Structure 1
């Protein structure tokens, strides 16, 4: 107790020692666990317990969160509505927000014709206002060409999209290798694609955009050829593989596992080619396991290719992905 003039007294409690301070701060931090985290944990626990009861297995406490995994949706998933003008990319971003997704992949095919920088900034602003990140974009290109005017045109197109992605704040661009011309030796095609990629990498580095070469048939249909292109490009922080789970046509899980260490973006299809070359529903747990083994961190986008009922099927698959990867 300390006395002051005019009869004022002040009671001062003794300060806790340093150890007590640390304990108090730790307890407070623990108590401030966000409502979202609590709801997420509860939801995953309930979902896992429900699955366990149905299968007769003992209930789990919930799927472990996949560290630094973020879920996105490729605009290609709504291609019918986007191509028909029933939806635009602004509305697609809104829908991603309604699905409670962290990201939206804005496929280049559905941008307005002859768009300008202001259009890109408006898309960027819409995404920001909805709490959605533009996880990347995806373009058509063909690098499987010999040196010449057509190859130069393809290189210029990719460079232009690098600038546009930077304006959009999209960190990643999905690119293609292209188709091997008839009668061309495969080794020549592999070199052509690698040369095309190396021609645009300085621009990608300057603008801070990562290029992901997709296993999209053609020269990249087989994992051995995809990796051969990567080896010729060399180790570059602005280049890697856009890993599409639905495109390998032999034993996809084995090929995906071989390519996963170089992945910079992942697109999940709902069907996959399993053993014996048969199409089957994708096993999301297998995808998670091979990505974890490869140490992948980053965006995982659903690219739904079903021809009907996209509006009904996509939310169901997003829920499955959230449960599998432990993401709310």
Structure 2
């Protein structure tokens, strides 16, 4: 059966910007959930000090959990080679971070959808940078996972490979035992596309998954498409919410993953309204997982 992890979606500013929450507080809160792991974020303020890395690993393991996945956001589509080389070095440090925490999966992205880039240019730049990181990851037994992403919280432009066709082009360009897909069904809606169609196109490459659910607070998916220009942060008409109550069809998702033999980590990227909501999302997923992967 796949294993469940959680990500501190509700506490990102507190952990990454203003420091009003300590990582140890998040570990303590999360330890009350019925999960086996915590997805980590490279941008936690306290991760700047490498001396903390083994301390956090021990704190998590003392609670009977592990840190399987690292969430980070390299920007590999910048036209300047010196900038891209710096991003490759950053990614290598995040791989080191993942290794030090005992993790197996470290996220990569394509980069920002800069207006001057053609699809071919962007795919080539991103593929070259990811391939430059793969030997380093393989030496540490880390798998680089590319997510069908919407937009990093701190980026100006959306993800270059946000659209299904572009994402699939990039995935098809890289074949390596230490490379796979982190599938996020909600992000496909943000591209105005069908998450099940995307899953069927990449399911043989999926090695991890983000579980979430999304709602449109106002307007339509079509309205969302129109505002994908240069807005910092997430579009205002979107909302994360409780899993099982949004747009995603978890029966369709899990039946396709089961069909391809998926047996890895599912990390919950919800709970924006607090720990009670996150706990309900855990319970929903546990029930669904038991249905599709009966022990």
TM-score by length of 2: 0.80
CA contact (8 A) 1:166 1:209 kept: yes
In the TM superposition, residue 137 of structure 1 has moved relative to its aligned partner by 1.1
Mapped to 1, the partners of 2:269 and 2:4 lie a distance apart of: 11
**Residue in 2 that maps onto 1:35:** none
Give the RMSD, CA atoms, in angstroms.
Answer: 2.2
Following TM superposition, by how much is the alpha carbon of 1:180 offset from its aligned partner in structure 2, in angstroms?
Answer: 2.9
Given that residues 93 and 132 in structure 1 are in contact (C-alpha distance below 8 angstroms), is that contact kept between their aligned partners in structure 2?
A: no
- Following the alignment from structure 1 to structure 2, what is the Cα–Cα distance between the partners of residues 317 and 97? 15
The answer (yes or no) to whether the contact 1:272–1:282 under 8 Å persists in 2 is no
Tell whether 2:72 aligns with 1:129: no
Equivalence for 2:203: 260
Alpha-carbon offset, residue 292 of structure 1: 1.2
Matches within 5 A, 1:49-64: none
Give the Cα separation in 2 of the matches to 1:111 and 1:263: 30
Name the SS for the 1:220 alignment partner.
Answer: coil
In structure 2, the residue matched to 1:71 is 4
Deviation at 1:80, TM superposition (A): 4.5
Larger relative contact order (CA 8 Å, sep ≥ 6) = 2
1:216 Cα offset (Å):
1.0
Match of 2:247 in 1: 281
Contact 2:75–2:112 (CA<8 Å) still a contact in 1?
yes
Tell me the CA shift for residue 246 of structure 1: 1.0
CA deviation vs aligned residue, 1:193-224 (integer Å, no higher than 9, x gap): 00000000010011111110111132221222
2:136 is matched with which residue: 203, 208, 214?
203
Between Structure 1 and Structure 2, the one with more helix by share is: 1
Match of 1:142 among 75, 78, 98: 75
TM-aligned CA distance change 1:272 to 1:290, over 3 Å: farther
The count of residues paired between Structure 1 and Structure 2 equals 255
- Superposed displacement of residue 109, structure 1: 2.0
8 A Cα contact 2:47 2:53, kept in partner:
no
Q: Is the 8 A contact 2:19 2:45 kept in 1?
A: no
SS in 2 for 1:145: coil
1:1-328 equivalences in 2 (<5 Å)? 67=1, 69-83=2-16, 84-112=18-46, 114-116=48-50, 118-146=51-79, 148-217=81-150, 218-233=159-174, 235-248=175-188, 249=191, 250-271=193-214, 277=221, 280-304=246-270, 306=272, 309-326=273-290
CA distance in 2, matches of 1:299, 1:77: 20
Give the distance between the partners of 1:106 and 1:75, measured in 2 at CA. 8
CA contact under 8 A between 1:257 and 1:294: conserved in structure 2?
Answer: no
Measured after TM superposition, the shift of residue 147 of structure 1 is 5.8
Shift of 1:159: 0.7
**Unaligned ranges ≥5, structure 2:** 151-158, 223-237, 239-245
Structure 1 unmatched runs, 5+: 1-66
**CA-to-aligned-CA distance 1:105-126 (integer Å, 9 cap, x gap):** 011222416311x311001111
Name the SS for the 1:98 alignment partner. coil
**d(CA) in 2 for partners of 1:319, 1:102:** 13
